[in-house]
Amino acid sequence: MSEFISAVNGVIWGNVLVYLLLGAGLYFTVASRFVQLRRFGFSFKYMLNSRSTSEDHHISSFQAFCTSLAARVGTGNLAGVAVAIYTGGPGAIFWMWLIALLGMSTSFVENTLAQIYKSNKHDGTYYGGPAYYIEKAMGIRWLGIAFSISLIIAFGFAFNSVQSNSIAAALSTYDIPPLGVGIALAVVTAMIIFGGIRSISRFAEMVVPFMALLYIVIALVVMVMNIAELPAVFALIFKSAFGLESAVGGGAGYLVSQAIQQGVTRGLFSNEAGMGSGPNAAATATPVPHHPATQGLLGMVGVFVDTIVICSATAAIILLSGQLDPTSGVTGINLTQQALSSQIGAIGHHLIALAILLFAFTSVIANYYYGESNLRFICNKEPVIMVFRVLVLGMVVWGAVGELPLVWSFADMSMGIMALINLVAIIWLARHVFPVLKDFDEQIDAGLQPEFDRKKFPFLDKTMDQDVWDSEEEESCRKLDQGYNCICSNCNPIEKAEKAS
């Protein structure tokens, strides 16, 4: 079984998926007229002011953003970056930056689609993601089910056990038994996930900014301590990326190929752009301005923060410390811990342990929601959801004490399959996203507050749910059953009076 899974992963990750992700990123970048550069300033400004919603019981864009970032930012930002540098050299960081830049446009497309094709839960919240836009826009429910099953396996079960294992390993140095760690994690996780998406989004909104800022401050301290070395480190990254610091010949070519492979692969794993995971969180938001492109733009910021900011922070800590030795065998989280400890003393080990705890635990919470959202696509029954919650909690406990090599490989295969399905879908549906972006751009350039009018887009209007993306007047009509007075000019006054009474 392990040989078969390894062979499948070799094909998916070694050939097909990497080139498809790169090609999709280039296509979306050009077709969107470099939206990640044109609208980055707006996106970042909007992120800082995105905590408001049209009504208090809605999920804000910032809450959805933090939920997505909770899943993106995990132990890979600490251990994965260290592996990339150890194996591919400092040049791997340049290729991580490049894949993040392209991935920002991919994230825009998939998050905008998730907003367009979200479903109304009629309790002030929404849900959706790739499975939903595959069914609604492409009319292929079985493909949406295949995507959902792959995501549930990868994020709902496998990755959560891996994150639990990472937390247990980090706390093992404090003589805390792994089983105790697993049980404690399961209890706290249950307290959050049983509260539904509102509880999950509130948790992410509180914890994710804190953990990200804490880690960035730690990296800034290291950079300030070594500020004279920063120019040389940047020069090393760029030279290593193209083999300029090596002797010419086959050796340099091999080093460059390793830098590209490690940077691209680790970058894709880290920022998840095109994988189809982030859109599950993006669909929950009620964005202000009231336009699908708004959340698409915020999705770009998530990729930027994950790779350009947090992964770069880890790279700076390692490269400035002088602890990188390709012959030492010290890699992964051990290299990151050793690098930070060499700069700020023994407290560095404790800070990395804290970072692992926060990064991994927030990933568990967000990964669970991704799994629940896709399970609801297959079978939206509360008893089934309850069984899923119990199984996830069981995987959290098991992950803390189990051996996970096969789980990792199986998760990679499931993630690769869901990414392939999602990429095919967003490449096919992107032609409907770019007119939405154009509509957004035109309103912004005219000095207007963007407002989405579904009637401008006949295909979208026909394939979207009827109870999303209406105007405020049309939305008021749907509230009649809840005792509100309708203000819609399209309603018959007699009917309004009858319904309101």
Each residue of 259-290: pLDDT tens digit? 777 777 777 777 888 889 989 999 998 888 88
CATH of residue 456: 1.20.1740
**Residues 403, 498 within the same domain:** no
**Residues 366, 405 within the same domain:** yes
pLDDT (mean) for 464-479: 68
Q: What is the pLDDT of residue 356?
A: 85
Question: In 3-state terms, what secondary structure has residue 117?
Answer: coil
**Residues 483, 373 within the same domain:** no
**Residues 85, 188 within the same domain:** yes
**Residues 20, 65 within the same domain:** yes
Domain count, the chain: 2
Q: Which domain holds residue 495?
A: 470-501
Residue 475: band (very low, low, confident or very high) from pLDDT cuts 50, 70, 90: low
**Residues 366, 481 within the same domain:** no
The residues that bridge with 120 in the sheet, in sequence order, are: 126
224 φ/ψ angles, rounded to the nearest 5 degrees: -65, -40
Q: Are 453 and 292 in contact (CB under 8 A)?
A: no
Integer-rounded Cα Rg, in Å, for the chain is 23
CA distances from 427 to 39, 134, 141, 302, 477 (A): 21, 12, 18, 21, 36
**Residues 383, 485 within the same domain:** no
Query: For residue 330, what are its two tokens?
Result: 């010290």
pLDDT at 485 over 60: no
Q: What is the pLDDT of residues 380-434, one digit of tens each?
A: 899 999 999 999 999 999 888 877 666 667 777 888 889 999 999 999 999 999 9
Q: Are 79 and 93 in contact (CB under 8 A)?
A: no
- How far apart, in whole angstroms, are the C-alpha atoms of residue 307 and residue 313? 9
- How far apart, in whole angstroms, are the C-alpha atoms of residue 437 and residue 432? 9
Question: In 3-state terms, what secondary structure has residue 239?
Answer: helix
- In the DSSP assignment, the letter for residue 158 is I
Opening angle at CA 272, ends 300 and 202, nearest 5: 70
**Residues 230, 303 within the same domain:** yes
Opening angle at CA 152, ends 149 and 153, nearest 5: 85
Q: What is the pLDDT of residues 230-252, one digit of tens each?
A: 898 888 888 888 876 654 444 56
pLDDT (mean) for 58-69: 85
Q: Are 307 and 100 in contact (CB under 8 A)?
A: yes
Q: What is the pLDDT of residue 183?
A: 94
Compute, in degrees rounded to 10, the torsion defined by CA atoms 393, 398, 399, 402: 180
pTM of the model: 0.88
**Residues 389, 494 within the same domain:** no
**Residues 354, 340 within the same domain:** yes
**Residues 490, 347 within the same domain:** no
**Residues 386, 292 within the same domain:** yes
pLDDT at 103 over 60: yes
Q: Amino acid identity, residue 117?
A: Y
Closest by alpha carbon to 242, among 223, 228, 263?
Answer: 263
